[in-house]
Amino acid sequence: MKTHVLAIVAILLISIDVFSEGFSFSKSRRVGAQSGLSAQRVIVTGAGGKTGQLVFEQLQASSEFTPVGVVRSEKKAKLLRTKYFATNDQIIIGDICSSDESETAGWMTDAYALVVATSAVPVLKKRSLVKMLAKKFTFQKVGRPEFRWSAPDGFPENVDYKGQLKQFDAAVSAGVKRIVVCSSMGGTQEDNFLNSIGKQEDGSGGDILKWKRKAEQYLVRLKEVSHSIVHPGGLTNKPVPSRKLVVDVNDALLERKKRQIYRGDVAAVMVDQLRKTDNNVFDIVSEEVEGGEEGFDMGAMGEFEKQKEKIYAY
Ligand SMILES: NC(=O)c1ccc[n+]([C@@H]2O[C@H](COP(=O)([O-])OP(=O)(O)OC[C@H]3O[C@@H](n4cnc5c(N)ncnc54)[C@H](OP(=O)(O)O)[C@@H]3O)[C@@H](O)[C@H]2O)c1
């Protein structure tokens, strides 16, 4: 009993930390104007998110690319400035749900590539934890916590499907050459638990993996731009010291017992995909290397690319 109560309190604390970002936005607003960039300009949407920030950071550290982050709030713009030394030219405040396509295309003017790290953001309903605790104390079935989305229009159909399509179309009309998307493993499983998050009684509001996959199906049919779609397993913020990449397709990696990957390693794979020109769709997790060299070994990516028979079925 004690362990269960502690677990629920831990979920509550984590949820406050992870999901407590505020949001207020209207029309998108570019901070400053682009000037004198020599490296290739890469638009990172969702740059204020946990993986998006790491993509931004790694691009910022490279001499090949200049990232421009699209964030939803001034708070996230400030974060990019203070933590990643973004200049005003490198920040756009905008909302992919409320912007129109021409506005979104405007963000991508002169860009070589678009990195999509946006996603509907689930927010834990704290009341559901209280309900779970009450059930626990009255010896009833505890059930699962409930979630809402971080904005009234921030549900998966809007963000992960319509919002992504808008970004893809805008990228094409702005002449962007490459799109790299952070999606998720599990898209082949209709009944994956993640599809139940935020789902209303009438069946609307959820299905995050289904909407992501539908957006992917749209992207892979676009002829005007090349793409990489990366499906990570469970994301973590703390890497083990030595780890190597594992790559496959069609959710085969879901069979593995451990199927997590550090967000920074996902970002490294995405940045690497910016350098490619062919279309790639794959799943990734990482594996601990006992006693191995410190860091992330991405060698499996090269091996995977040679195996041309591993193709994602949509
Ligand atoms: N969590 C996992 O274990 C897991 C596993 C596999 C795959 N994934 C997927 O991996 C990706 C990255 O995950 P993450 O946890 O790093 O993401 P995250 O922190 O939730 O970031 C999502 C980003 O999307 C932005 N966003 C949401 N709605 C938007 C809108 N309307 N306009 C503009 N931006 C919007 C958010 O803005 P704010 O910063 O303002 O909130 C946030 O920056 C997601 O696609 C996720 O579904 C997650």
**Model confidence over 21-71: pLDDT tens digits?**
332 233 455 454 344 447 999 999 999 999 999 999 999 999 999 999 999
- Give dist(CA 254, CA 235) in Å, integer: 14
Q: What is the mean pLDDT of residues 293-314?
A: 94
Ligand 1 center to 262 CA (angstroms): 15
119 C-alpha vs ligand 1 centroid, how far in Å?
4
Q: How far is the CA of 49 from the centre of ligand 1 (A)?
A: 5
Please state at what angle helix 50-61 crosses helix 74-84, rounded to 10 degrees.
40
Structural domains in the chain plus CATH codes: 2-306 (3.40.50.720)
Ligand 1 atom with minimal separation from the 95 CA: 32
Torsional class of 186: left (φ above 0), alpha (ψ -120 to 50), beta (otherwise): left
Per residue in 113-164, pLDDT tens?
Answer: 999 999 999 999 998 888 898 888 888 888 888 899 999 999 999 999 999 9
- Closest C-alpha to 199, from 147, 163, 241, 151: 147
Please tell me the pTM assigned to this model: 0.89
For residue 247, what pLDDT is reported?
A: 98
Ligand 1 pocket mutation pick from 76, 194, 235 by most atoms within 8 angstroms of CB: 235
Higher pLDDT, 115 or 13: 115
The closest-lying atom of ligand 1 relative to the alpha carbon of residue 153 is 31
Residues with CB under 6 A from ligand 1: 21, 23, 46, 48-52, 72-73, 76, 95-97, 117-119, 121, 150, 154, 159, 163, 182, 184, 232, 234-235, 263
Distances 313 to 164, 218, 250, 310 between C-alpha atoms, Å: 20, 13, 7, 9
Q: Active site residue: 184, 226, 228, 286, which one? A: 184
pLDDT of residue 128: 86
Nearest CA to ligand 1 atom 24: 118
pLDDT for 203-246, tens place per residue?
Answer: 999 999 999 999 999 999 999 999 999 999 999 999 999 999 99
* pLDDT for the residue numbered 11: 45
How is the chain split among helix, strand and coil, in percent rounded to 5?
A: 40, 20, 40
Confidence grade of residue 9 (pLDDT, cut at 50, 70, 90):
very low
Q: How far is 186 from 209, CA to CA, in rounded Å? A: 7
Ligand 1 centroid to residue 138 C-alpha, Å: 36
Which atom, in ligand 1's list, is nearest to the CA of 186? 6
pLDDT of residue 29: 52
Which residues are bridge partners to 247 per DSSP? 284
Report d(CA 71, CA 65) in Å as an integer.
Answer: 19
- To test ligand 1's pocket by mutation, which of 25, 121, 195 has the most ligand atoms within 8 angstroms of CB? 121
Q: β-strands 29-31, 91-93: how paired?
A: antiparallel
Q: What is the pLDDT of residues 171-194, one digit of tens each?
A: 999 999 999 999 999 999 999 999
Question: How high is the pLDDT of residue 4?
Answer: 52
Amino acid in the structure at residue 302: G
**Annotation says 173 is catalytic:** no
Ligand 1 binding pocket mutation candidate from 25, 70, 84, 118 (most atoms within 8 A of CB): 118
Distance from Cα 135 to the centre of ligand 1, integer Å:
31
pLDDT average, residue stretch 280-297? 97
Query: Nearest C-alpha to atom 18 of ligand 1 is from which residue?
Result: 49
Express each pLDDT in 72-114 by its tens digit.
999 999 999 999 999 999 999 999 998 898 999 999 999 999 9
Give the whole-angstrom CA distance, residue 247 versus residue 165. Answer: 26
Pairing, β 178-182 against β 226-232 = parallel
The sheet with strand 91-93 has its strands ordered as: 29-31, 91-93, 65-71, 40-45, 113-116, 178-182, 226-232, 280-288, 242-248, 295-297
What's at 251, amino acid-wise? D
